[in-house]
Structure 1
Amino acid sequence: TPLGSKPAKGQHLGILVVEFGVFVTVASTMLAIFYVFGGRADEADEKAKNEEGGE
């Protein structure tokens, strides 16, 4: 069988696969949040430079 010859081994492998999926999802979400806040800082810097130059 693809998940192991014994049900207990298949269950352990299935749990590991699900945990890996949760890890990927959480890591992706954390990176997305990080980049959103990083982009906000860049926009604020550009806005400040434009305001200084316009005076």
Structure 2
Amino acid sequence: MQGTPGDWAEQIADLALQYGVSGFILASDEPADLNLFGHEVAPRARELVQSERVT
């Protein structure tokens, strides 16, 4: 993934919507990375996917 956490969320949402990917693994030992992914990226990706599936 490249870019901002918002960019990551959009990339993840695209994978979920286009290819049906439903599980993602973040390979990192850095607590800051895990925290960022769990608090910003994953929730935003879920919102994006949900909003596309509802319409």
Query: If the TM-score is normalised by the length of the shorter chain, which range does it land in?
Result: 0.3 to 0.5
Q: Which has the larger radius of gyration?
A: 1
Normalised TM-score (structure 1): 0.40
- What is the TM-score with the length of structure 2 in the denominator? 0.40
